[in-house]
Structure 1
């Protein structure tokens, strides 16, 4: 069986347009390969992220990592951290280890690997280069209104109606 297929579009260009703001990382350089510890076989360590310039009215954040290049029709969610307080503007490397690594009442929902944490890059061996979109979503409410049993798709659905802005940085990886 061959995994040859077209490159998926940038998924965020397919959503309604919202304000953009800035996200930087000491661990992810936009469009460049991820570090070894951000790979599933190398440690599953979520990258450091800092953001600024969120839209006025931001009351919380959601941070996600999505791979649109997974050989599925739905891509692959590697990380979803919900209800990060509005006064938080950075996450340290490793914040995706579990709920106790997140600030305030923030929590994780299950990634597509089934765990409530950050799952590092794990594309099939020999597959095309995969893109990993790390996105900080500015939310116009103090809570997204989901619980820890929600799927990343349900989080995304709620974000469609409550997102004021997005900040995006993406890394790549090929096995």
Structure 2
């Protein structure tokens, strides 16, 4: 049987990458998207990106030397996270999607919220304990997490595209009215 192929737009993958970055490397996990915590500042974002892309390397000082290009890449990656969030309507738009997801799928939202404590508290010291306490296998947990983050990414993208179409329509109507007044 041929393998099922899906075509995912690049922007959905960008959103998904940002969500995975927060889920795996942010000290508060996805809590900032649920509205339970503040958005990390640029230093914390750079540390998250550093932890993801260069976990064993000491980047060194910013003011020159052979580590400067690596430091620049990390800072630019932190800025790219902020720019990606801003390009899809900002933190408030993403929080609205997470809120709606919590209303639609409360069990999955609770799973994403509790996931923030894996390895960060005595409640869930490891993924095995987390999965056991949520009556899941590790595989089931990863599958649910992947599905939830993909669904949220698609919803953020869908809302972004809808707002883009609405703004195009509004600008089209406004230009028609201006041309009518000038005639």
Return the TM-score normalized by structure 1.
Answer: 0.25
**More helix per residue: 1 or 2?**
2
Q: Name the structure with the higher strand share.
A: 1
Q: How high is the TM-score relative to the length of structure 2?
A: 0.24
- Give the number of the structure with larger relative contact order, counting CA–CA contacts within 8 Å between residues 6 or more apart: 1
Larger radius of gyration: 2
